[in-house]
Chain A
Amino acid sequence: MKIIVAVKRVVDYNVKVHVKTDGSGVDIANAKKSMNPFDEIAVEEAVRLKESGLASEVIAVSIGVAQCQDTLRTALAMGADRAILVQTDAEVQPLAVAKLLKALCEKEEPFIVLVGKQAIDDDSNQTGQMLAALMNWPQATFASKVEIEDNTARVSREIDGGIETVEISLPAVITADLRLNQPRYATLPNIMKAKKKPLEIVTPESLGVDISSRLKTLRVAEPPKRATGVKVNDVADLVAKLKEKLKGTGVMVWPV
């Protein structure tokens, strides 16, 4: 009853990033990096499943440069049992990540793969879905609640306008949304213990996976600057100005 949880090393959510002047990408070379917040939620859920006796082992996986070991150490300090780094300096796109995870799934045979619903750097929101397709496994994305019973998972999903509850058979892929849980802090004693937990390093070649890019970035641009706002005196003034602004658009302002 293993769980694989995938964690991505991304620019820290507190860092304000800027587009490179030549428009070739976002300048993140010297920015602070940390674990993708949605992946942190995925790790927390995996560790909770293990703590409640529903899983036997939590394996944290990361894909990328050697420094991803730091991200894995954080996952280990949060409670993962061991870690695997698929080390590469190349850009790894969602399909390549899914293929690498597939190779690890075939080797480790987990009953659940937990990933964040998306990474806060490129916001692709694809890896979990692609992995489920490649494995031909059920998937439950945007999870806000996970309950495991026998060979099924009941997952509440955050969808537009409400919560949808689905039941899927295991093994399956579950992607974590913001409200699934509140991740714990890696406590100081656990940071020390994490130093001694096993961290295995493999390569895409050793897993026999072709990670070449399928997408090409043509240009990256800053979003348009926000226009200057308008000051209003009171609510009545606000409503009047909104009405004026929306005249002829078919949008109603309430109270009319």
Chain B
Amino acid sequence: MFLSTEHQQVADMTRRFADEVIRPEAERLDREEVFAAEIYQEMAKNGLFGIMTPDTYGGAGLDCLAYSIVMEELSRGYASVADQCGLVELLTTLLCTYGTEQQRNEWIGPLIRAEKRGAYCITEAGAGSDVSGVKTTAVRKGNGWVLNGSKLWIHNAPVSDVAFVLARTNPEAGKRGMSIFIVDCNESGVFRGPKEHKLGQRSSQIGELSFTDVKLPEDALLGTEGRGFHMMMSVLEKGRVGIGALAVGIIQAALEASVEQAKLRQQFGHAISEFQAIQFMLADMAKDAEAARLLVRSAAMKLDAGVDAAMASSMAKCFAGDAAVLHTANAIQIFGGSGYIRGYEVERLFRDAKITQIYEGTNQIQRVIIARKLLQ
């Protein structure tokens, strides 16, 4: 796809950053399951958090297309690192769209400077794809609120400083009875669970975040009471563009590794790249990477233009995630036995890819959204 000078510069800069700073660390971060604090400091210095945040709040002030480009290039370096960028993007978007001036000033700067670690809390034991099952409650008390409940599989939970929590404020009102609260994780009653040991994206710290009688001030409420579900959902289209782009980055990394290996690996007296069985796998990988990239960028451009992007962002996320799982498996096939060994990039890519079919709305939910749009 032809990019403008600025978008191309963003792509070049991020790719170089990923090659020099992220990629050399990916294997270690995966093996040790550690939070990539130093890399996030470097990213913050180079404006790689808060891509769409206006410069008045210290962001880069770019568009969603640029955001998708950044996510792809970061992920080509290491998906966990891209996901951290995506998480900050969602939180700053919530703040920019719904926050009061005071909330923006308090949280946006520390989040994009990587001084504070944020968590975005929707999922619970009984509320995954069905968000209406949220049981966490916030009850009015005096001039504030009291928060109770438990959130699962929360990105950054073990290391979080601030959490954006979807809670029920009116038990009778269903989806219209939920609100979002900004919770300081150092308050008493907040429990950060230990990190879960995952299949892939192992540098991402995921765990439980629970709240027992956590007292919140009045201004902890983000946006309008009762509109929490709608607000969380409103940023998910951008989230899906981000995860779609992240999946494209994984495919691209798998493709580059596979092409290199196919030219190097000799069997039957030939480089295996001379065999059509391998060539066809490479060709399919390249065409799906490009198709996924175009779907992602098309959805991003729809968001930039302010037109309905629900179907486009679901298609992009779903297609890219499925393609990432398929083609990272094929990359291992091209590598043969060595691709199955820890320490080989394609082995990690295969593990990193799987979650892209699950988080940010499962690919089954994406299909439901697409079908609903088709049939409405």
Task: Using CB atoms, name the residue of chain A closest to B17.
Answer: A185
Task: Name the residue of chain A whose CB is nearest to the CB of B5.
Answer: A70
User: CB distance A73 to B46 under 8 Å?
Assistant: no
Contacts of A248 in B (CB 8 A): none
In angstroms, Cα B46 to Cα A138, docked, is 37
Chain B minimum-CB-distance residue to A74 = B9
Closest B residue to A186 by CB, please name it: B13
With A70-B5, A70-B8 known to touch, is A192 a contact of B13 (CB < 8 Å)?
no
- B interface, size bucket: 20 to 34
Interface of B is mostly: helix
| A residues 222-251 in Cβ contact with B at 8 Å | none
> Which of B58-66, B75-83, B298-306, B315-323 lies at the interface?
B58-66
Judging by beta carbons under 8 Å apart, are A192 and B62 in contact?
yes
Asked if A189 lies at the interface with its beta carbon under 8 angstroms from chain B, I say yes
The secondary-structure label for the interface of chain A is helix
Query: Does any Cβ of B come within 8 Å of A77's Cβ?
Result: yes
Does A188 interact with chain B (Cβ within 8 Å)?
yes
CA distance A230 to B138 in the complex (A): 74
CB pair A189–B5 under 8 Å, yes or no, is no
Q: Are A73 and B55 in contact (CB under 8 A)?
A: no
Number of interface residues of A (CB under 8 A): 15
A190 beta carbon closer than 8 Å to chain B = yes
Interface centre among A69, A77, A191 (most CB of B within 10 A): A191
| Complex contact A188–B51 (CB within 8 A) | yes
- Hey, which chain A residues are within 8 Å of B66, CB to CB? 188
**B232-283 interface with A by 8 A CB criterion:** none
Task: Give the complex CA separation of A186 and B16 in angstroms.
Answer: 10
A189 touches B17 (CB 8 A): no
Asked whether A188 lies within 8 Å of B46 as measured between CB atoms, the reply is yes
Q: Is the beta-carbon distance between A185 and B13 smaller than 8 angstroms?
A: yes
Cβ–Cβ < 8 Å partners of B46 in chain A:
185, 187-188
A185 and B16 form a contact (CB under 8 A) = yes
| A195 proximal to B (CB < 8 A) | yes
Complex Cα distance, B73 from A185, in Å, reads 15
Chain B 34-77 interface 0/1 with A at a Cβ cutoff of 8 Å (1 = within): 00000000000111100100010001111000100010000000
A34: interface (CB < 8 Å)? yes
A186 to B11, CA, bound (A): 11
Contacts of A69 in B (CB 8 A): 5
Q: Judging by beta carbons under 8 Å apart, are A187 and B6 in contact? A: no
Is residue B365 within 8 Å, beta carbon to beta carbon, of the partner chain?
Answer: no
A-B pairs, 8 with minimum CB distance:
A188-B47, A188-B60, A187-B47, A187-B46, A189-B47, A189-B60, A185-B46, A191-B9
User: A residues near B, CB below 8 A?
Assistant: 34, 69-70, 73-74, 77, 185-192, 195
30 sampled A-B residue pairs with Cβ under 8 A: A69-B5, A70-B5, A70-B8, A70-B9, A73-B9, A74-B12, A77-B9, A185-B13, A185-B17, A185-B46, A187-B13, A187-B46, A187-B47, A188-B10, A188-B13, A188-B47, A188-B48, A188-B51, A188-B60, A188-B62, A188-B66, A189-B47, A189-B60, A190-B47, A191-B6, A191-B9, A191-B10, A191-B60, A192-B60, A192-B62
